[in-house]
Each structure stands twice: as C-alpha cells, then as structure tokens.
C-alpha cells in the first residue's frame, strides 16, 4: 500500500516494518520483543510525562519558566536532567550487552546480532554525546558564570539554542527506538561499513544526524563559554585568580571549538557519500576510509579531554573545599591543564596504530601519548598535596574524588601500556580497550559529574542531598565499576574482541558472569541515586540551606542565596584573591548589604531555542527517512525563526531596585537567623547554610 501513489513522497522510505511492534508481532523472538518493549517504554514514558504535566496544570509554567528560559542556571539544570535520562537508557543497554555476552557462550543468547550491534552503538553514542556532554555542559553552565561573578553567559540565546540542538538530537536517538532502527557501526561510525554499500538502512543516518546536531550544539557552546570566561569576569577576577573549575571549563571550551568541527566535517562528508553519491570514504572510485579515521580521531581524542577536564575542575574545587585548604600548586594545575589541552591534539593516531603506518610515526605518537601522562599525574599529586596538612571531611563529593584518584591511576597504567604500539597491537579492538576507556571515563567523567552534582545541588535547589543514600550510591558505583570492568581486562588480554555478540569457549564464562554482576551493581547505583533524590526532596525542609553556604565554600558561587536569584548577584562582586568568599568570611562580613541597589537587566525568555531544536530534529528526521518535504519545510522554518527573532525588540526584562532589595533583604534575614555550622556537623540537618568561621 505504501509504495503506491503519493505515499512514497510523503513517507519516504518508511514502511510498517520500521515499527518494532510490527517486527515483534511477525517474528516474536526475545530480541524483537525486547526491541518492542523498549519502544513501548519510550512511548509510555512520553505519555506519562505529558499526562502528568497536564494533570498538574504545569504546561504554562514549564514553557515560560523553563523551556524558553535563557537563564544559564535553568539551562544548566535542563542539560543535567537530559543527562540523567540518557544515562538511564544507556546503562540499561549496557546491562543488556553484558547479559547477552554472559548468556551467549557457545549458544546464540537472546539478542540477535543486529540488535546487539545497535545496542553497543547507541550505548556508546549516548554515553558520549548525550550523557557526558550534556552533563558537563550543564554543570559548567550552572557554575561557571556564578564563579566568575557574572549574571549570565556571554550569549544567552545561543546557550538556549545549543541546549535545544542537543535535546533535539537526543530526541532523535529516542525516536530511533520507536521508528526504524539505529546504526550498527559503533559510536565511531567507521566507513566503509557505514556506507550505503554495506549499511543501506536508516540506522547510520540516525547516527549521522544525531551526532551532527549534537556536535553543532557543542561547538556553539564552546564559543559561548570561552567568550564568557574572557569577557564576563567580575572586577578583580584576573585569569590567575579564576577557580580551577573555570580554568578547566575554559580549556574544555577551547577544545570544543577546535575539535568539534572535525567531527561535524567527518559526519557531513559521510552524509554526502550516503545521500549524494560522493566517494570520500567508499571502497570504490578513489574513496579512502583512512581519511575518516584521521578526521574522526582528530575530534575523538580531544573529546576525551573535553569530557575529563571539567571533572578535573570539580575535583579541584571539592578537594580544596573539603580539606579546608588552599589548592596546592594552583599555577602548576593551570599549566598542567593547558598542557593537556594542547597535547590532546597531538596524539590521535594512537587510535589506529594498527592501520599500517610506519614505525617512526607510531613511535612518535606513542611517545606523545605517554607525555600527556605527565601533566595528568601532576594534577593527581596536586590534589594529594592539597589534602596534606588539611582537615579532610569525607562527604560524598570527597569520596568520589578519592575513588577517582585511585581508580584513574589504574586506567592511566593501562593507558601507558596501550601507548606502546607493539602492546596496543595485541589488545586493540578487544575488551581490554573497553576496560581501559571505561576505567578512564567512569572515574574521570562520571564520578566527577556526580561529585559536582552532590557538591552544587544544595546551591541549585536550596537543600542538601540525603547523605546515606549518597553513600550507598557511591559504594555501588565504585564496587560495581571494579567488578564490571576488571574482568574485561582479563578477557581482552585473552583476545575477546569488543562488540562481540557471542563467544564459543566456556573458559570465558566466569569472567563474563562476574562482569554481569558488576553491571547490575551499577544499575543499583543509579537506582540509589534516584532514591536519594526522592528522599531528599521529601526531606527538603529539614535540610534547607537557603543561606547558601553549606560547605564553608571558597568561591563566589557560595556568596549568594541557594538557589540564587535569577540575576545571581544583586551587586556585581569584586574579588581580591583566589578564594574570595572564604577569605571574606574570615576578614570581614561578607554578608554586609550594599548602600543601594540598581535595576538589573537580563534577557527575556525566548522561544527561538525550542523552535530551532525541535524543527532541527524534524529536519533531521526527514533526512533520515527521505521525507524531503519535511526537510525543506524544516530548513525554511529555521531560517524564518532566525529572521523573526532578529526583528524582536523587547528582548530584555528589568528587575527594579525595589524588587532586588526585597529579595536581597529576605536572604540576608535568613543568613542572620541561621546558626553557623561547624564542619563536624555539616552533613546533618543542623546545617542551615552559614559556615562557622573561627578567624
């Protein structure tokens, strides 16, 4: 029916078998039923959210206060919500991969090869582009402007557009569960496998457009953050006084600006191959996939530092705060961060030592790779010396930092092994490599983000997270990581290839079982995190820290209420050192009200971001399914949106001095009424967000 008349023009290459329900109906295997179940879950999830919002009558509130908001804090929170949603999906997929591999030892298991390949491709792509990136961008968004004493980022509207491009791309990932299928080419999408000749379906197209939208969003974010750091710092906030988190945000942004376009170009060229019959990376007519490998990893290696540097920033803040001590070796940390950022562009070949280039080239890139270990090691020691002669408090963020330092070193250990080309030849493309990069990314990214989440949550929402559940979750993340990934080192050394749907030798079985148990513990960890959120919200009144400074904080972000007013600071602060708020608390009264208040101007909400994101995703959807009419309408709509926005005149809102004064007074009253907390009891309900300072 759908191949006749007008249908092909309307529906492109869609047919009923694109729906997992139809596939499961016709061929009810476990694999298809799981696929249909996942699709059902997406649909039910969406329906529940819509019904809930409608029942609560919150559409207007959601739209005007959140979705269209240009407030960097709200945008940051939305990014992190997105990250948690995507983390949940990708973690479930990881467990399915683990279960399949444990089951499929000398039998077929329960997930068909094609479905399995989609699972590792979506897991990897989501974890990198739609979990890690949104999480770190969200955290930077929330914290960095506060830390530099600014009221917003440099380009608030662009910020919203980036959010929505990322959100649209993530939406496309979700849609691929319900309509059609995803790529089977892994998170790296190597051609020629992903070319039309070998993967004619819609899968690689979903991957291409989701990643392209995401990468454009990230490039814009990088520009936005870098300009913010350069231009929006408050008086006295010299570069060498910036908190380390701001430094790492800056380096990450610079990396984004230079690395992301390489990815955009790689996926765009692949799209040209697939859509218009170009031959950049095909086998035939002079194409060469080696160019793709170079372009992709020219992005890919800096990308891992984009992911890791913000976490390094979080650790610097956390270790210093919870040791009540100045950061050791500030200058050397800054230099090390810069060195890492620079060197990260010089090592990409280590991702394909086995492509047949000569020994000189491999050796040079191998040595360059080891060199990065030096500044990284220096940073670890800087944190150790920061604890040295401090007063260490084992709060949840601090626990994550400690677990990170010890676990990350093991990942560095295997990283140096892999930097030796002759050693890489043996374990490249095996589970050893998978173990290595999870050993870097779980402590180096996920723990860092979770530490940041626990650390700044009270700032963002005005109450502390539940301590007990935080510790349970932490324990599960750490124990689960070791049990899930240490076996992979062994399996990889024994030659088990990554992305393998089945094994033949029972000798592997105990290790896969163990890894499976580890993955389940990791699910428990995420579960505990959600329980913690639930419990904390219920107990929010007992754990409120509206006064704003629950940890005896050091940076400016702690010198305002929790949550901060929309304009962050009633008066732009002026700083005199590296730990401005910590010093101010000890020198004079940091809560002294200013003589007078001025009116504050901030950008007004705008629907441009949501428009561009949603329409962008629809355009991409049209491209995936060859529904050209949708693509054309989409492109026109985006252009129209941009033009319409440029005619908008009233793009600012004003906070009159009276209102600012009222808000500020209310907060200062709360500060005055709060009992200062000593560090011993900061993890209890005694903590009202004002720190006790001795001198």
Partner 1 sequence: MKVSRGRPLLFAIPLLFVLSGCDVLKLSVMNYAGPIAASQSHLYVIVGIVLVFVAGPVLLLTPLIAWHYRLSNKNSAFRPNWNFSWTLEGFIWIPPIGIVIGLGFVLWHYTHTLDPYRPIASNLPALKVQAVGLDWKWLFIYPDQRIAAVNQLFIPVGRPVHISLTSGTVMQALLIPQLAGQIYAMAGMTTQLNLAASRPGVYRGENTQFNGTGFQNEKFNVIALSPSDYDRWVEHARASAHPLDAAAYAELFRKSSPPQPIVFSSVPQRLFQNILVQSQEPR
CB of 193 to Cu ion, least distance (A): 21
CB of 482 to Cu ion, least distance (A): 23
- Does 323 bind partner 1 (CB under 8 A)? Our answer is yes
Residues 117-136 that bind partner 1 (CB under 8 A): 117
- Does 301 bind Cu ion (CB under 5 A)? Our answer is yes
DSSP codes of every residue in 95-123 = HHHHHHHHH-BSS--SS-HHHHHHHHHHH
- Does 370 bind partner 1 (CB under 8 A)? Our answer is yes
Cα–Cα distance measured from residue 488 to residue 438, given in angstroms and rounded to the nearest whole number: 10
What x-and-dash track marks residues 524-553 binding partner 1 by CB under 8 A? ------------------------------
Residue from 99, 103, 493, 523 binding partner 1 (CB under 8 A): 493
Residue from 96, 309, 327, 396 binding partner 1 (CB under 8 A): 327
Q: Are 420 and 455 in contact (CB under 8 A)?
A: no
Residue from 3, 4, 276, 389 binding partner 1 (CB under 8 A): 389
CB of 497 to ligand HEM, least distance (A): 8
Query: Which residue, 108 or 635, has its beta carbon nearer to partner 1?
Result: 108
Range in contact with partner 1 (rule: CB under 8 A) among 130-138, 348-356, 529-537, 641-649: 348-356
Cα–Cα distance measured from residue 444 to residue 174, given in angstroms and rounded to the nearest whole number: 26
301 interface partner picked from Cu ion, ligand HEM, partner 1, none, CB below 5 to 8 A per type: Cu ion
441 interface partner picked from Cu ion, ligand HEM, partner 1, none, CB below 5 to 8 A per type: ligand HEM
- Does 390 bind partner 1 (CB under 8 A)? Our answer is yes
Query: Which residue, 115 or 301, has its beta carbon nearer to Cu ion?
Result: 301
CB of 369 to Cu ion, least distance (A): 7
Which alpha helices (DSSP H) does 539-627 contain, by range? Answer: 580-587, 608-625
CB of 373 to Cu ion, least distance (A): 12
Query: Which residue, 156 or 192, has its beta carbon nearer to partner 1?
Result: 192
Range in contact with partner 1 (rule: CB under 8 A) among 14-22, 89-97, 248-256, 279-287: 279-287
Helix axis angle for 289-321 and 431-441, nearest 10°, is 40
- Does 314 bind partner 1 (CB under 8 A)? Our answer is no
91 interface partner picked from partner 1, Cu ion, ligand HEM, none, CB below 5 to 8 A per type: ligand HEM
Prior bond of 563 cis (ω within 30°): yes
Q: Which residues bind ligand HEM (CB under 6 A)?
A: 91, 94, 97-98, 120-121, 123-124, 127-128, 132, 186-188, 434, 438, 441-442, 445-446, 484, 498-500, 519, 522
CA triple 182-222-168, angle to 5 deg: 35
Helix (H) or strand (E) segment spanning residue 505:
none
Residues whose CB falls within 8 Å of the CB of residue 530, separated by 6 or more in sequence, listed in order: none
Closest CA to 255 of 80, 137, 398, 107: 137
Residues 494-513 that bind partner 1 (CB under 8 A): 494-495, 497-505, 507-508, 510-511
Query: Which residue, 132 or 270, has its beta carbon nearer to ligand HEM?
Result: 132
| Long-range contacts of residues 666-673, Cβ cutoff 8 Å, at least 24 apart | 667/546, 667/547, 667/548, 667/560, 667/561, 667/565, 668/591, 668/593, 670/546, 670/547, 670/561, 671/547, 671/548, 671/591, 672/591
CB of 541 to partner 1, least distance (A): 27
Closest CA to 491 of 505, 518, 511, 514: 511
Query: Which residue, 309 or 627, has its beta carbon nearer to ligand HEM?
Result: 309
Range in contact with Cu ion (rule: CB under 5 A) among 41-49, 55-63, 197-205, 301-309: 301-309
Q: Are 559 and 549 in contact (CB under 8 A)?
A: yes
SS3 672: helix
Q: Are 264 and 177 in contact (CB under 8 A)?
A: no
The region, left, alpha or beta by phi > 0 then psi within -120 to 50, assigned to residue 393 is beta
What x-and-dash track marks residues 647-686 binding partner 1 by CB under 8 A? --------------------------------xx------
Residues whose CB falls within 8 Å of the CB of residue 447, separated by 6 or more in sequence, listed in order: 311, 400, 401, 403, 404, 407, 477
Cα–Cα distance measured from residue 271 to residue 41, given in angstroms and rounded to the nearest whole number: 30
SS3 591: coil
- Does 624 bind partner 1 (CB under 8 A)? Our answer is no
CB of 525 to ligand HEM, least distance (A): 8
Q: Are 39 and 175 in contact (CB under 8 A)?
A: no
Residues 427-466 that bind partner 1 (CB under 8 A): 428-430
- Does 289 bind partner 1 (CB under 8 A)? Our answer is yes
């Amino acid at each position: 029916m759908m191949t006749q008349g007008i249908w092909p023009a309307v529906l492109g290459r869609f047919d009923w078998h694109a729906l997992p329900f139809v596939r499961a109906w016709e061929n009810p295997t476990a694999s298809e039923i799981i696929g249909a179940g996942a699709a059902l879950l997406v649909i039910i999830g969406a329906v529940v959210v819509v019904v809930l919002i409608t029942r609560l009558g919150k559409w207007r509130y959601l739209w005007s206060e959140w979705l269209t908001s240009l407030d960097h804090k709200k945008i940051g929170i939305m990014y992190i919500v997105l990250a948690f949603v995507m983390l949940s999906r990708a973690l479930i997929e990881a467990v399915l991969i683990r279960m399949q591999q444990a089951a499929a030892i000398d039998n077929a298991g329960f997930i068909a090869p094609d479905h399995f390949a989609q699972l590792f491709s979506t897991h990897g792509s989501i974890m990198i582009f739609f979990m890690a990136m949104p999480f770190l961008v969200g955290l930077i968004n929330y914290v960095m402007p506060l830390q530099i004493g600014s009221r917003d980022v440099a380009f608030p509207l662009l910020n919203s557009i980036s959010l929505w491009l990322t959100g649209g791309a993530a939406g496309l990932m979700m849609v691929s569960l319900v309509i059609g299928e995803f790529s089977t080419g892994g998170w790296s999408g190597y051609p020629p496998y992903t070319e039309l000749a070998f993967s004619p379906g819609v899968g690689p197209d979903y991957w291409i457009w989701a990643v392209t939208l995401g990468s454009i969003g990230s490039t814009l974010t990088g520009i936005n953050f870098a300009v913010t750091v350069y231009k929006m710092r408050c008086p006295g906030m010299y570069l060498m006084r910036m908190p380390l988190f701001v430094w790492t945000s800056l380096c990450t942004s610079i990396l984004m600006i230079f690395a992301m376009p390489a990815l955009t170009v790689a996926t765009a060229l692949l799209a040209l191959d697939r859509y218009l019959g170009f031959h950049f990376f095909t086998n035939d007519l002079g194409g060469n996939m080696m160019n793709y490998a170079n372009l992709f990893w020219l992005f890919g290696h800096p990308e891992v530092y984009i992911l890791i540097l913000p976490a390094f920033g979080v650790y610097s803040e956390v270790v210093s705060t919870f040791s009540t001590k100045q950061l050791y070796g500030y200058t050397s940390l800054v230099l090390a961060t810069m060195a890492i950022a620079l060197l990260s562009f010089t090592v990409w070949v280590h991702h394909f030592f086995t492509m047949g280039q000569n020994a000189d080239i491999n050796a040079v890139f191998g040595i360059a790779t080891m060199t990065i270990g030096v500044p990284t090691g220096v940073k670890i020691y800087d944190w150790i010396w920061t604890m040295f002669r401090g007063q260490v408090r084992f709060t949840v963020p601090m626990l994550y930092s400690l677990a990170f330092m010890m676990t990350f070193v093991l990942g560095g250990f295997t990283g140096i092994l892999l930097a030796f080309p002759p050693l890489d030849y043996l374990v490249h493309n095996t589970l050893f490599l998978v173990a290595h990069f999870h050993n870097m990314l779980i402590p180096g990214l996920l723990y860092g983000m979770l530490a940041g989440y626990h650390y700044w949550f009270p700032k963002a929402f005005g109450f502390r997270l539940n301590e007990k559940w935080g510790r349970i979750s932490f324990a599960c993340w750490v124990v689960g990581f070791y049990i899930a990934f240490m076996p992979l080192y062994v399996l990889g050394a024994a030659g088990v290839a990554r992305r393998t749907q089945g094994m033949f030798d029972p000798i592997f079985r105990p290790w896969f079982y163990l890894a499976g148990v580890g993955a389940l513990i990791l699910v428990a960890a995420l579960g505990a995190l959600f329980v913690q959120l639930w419990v904390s919200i219920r107990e929010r009144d007992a754990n409120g820290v509206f006064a704003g400074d629950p940890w005896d904080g050091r940076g400016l972000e702690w010198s305002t209420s929790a949550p901060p007013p929309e304009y962050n600071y009633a008066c732009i602060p002026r700083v005199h050192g590296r730990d401005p708020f910590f010093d101010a608390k000890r020198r004079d009264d940091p809560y002294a009200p200013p003589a007078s208040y001025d009116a504050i101007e901030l950008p007004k909400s705008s629907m441009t971001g949501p428009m561009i994101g949603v329409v962008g995703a629809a355009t991409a959807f049209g491209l995936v399914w060859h529904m050209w009419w949708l693509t054309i309408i989409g492109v026109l709509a985006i252009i129209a949106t941009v033009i319409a926005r440029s005619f908008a005149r009233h793009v600012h809102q004003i906070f009159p001095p009276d209102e600012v004064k009222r808000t500020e007074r209310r907060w200062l009253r709360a500060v005055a009424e709060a009992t200062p907390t000593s560090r011993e009891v900061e993890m209890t309900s005694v903590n009202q967000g004002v720190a006790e300072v001795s001198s």
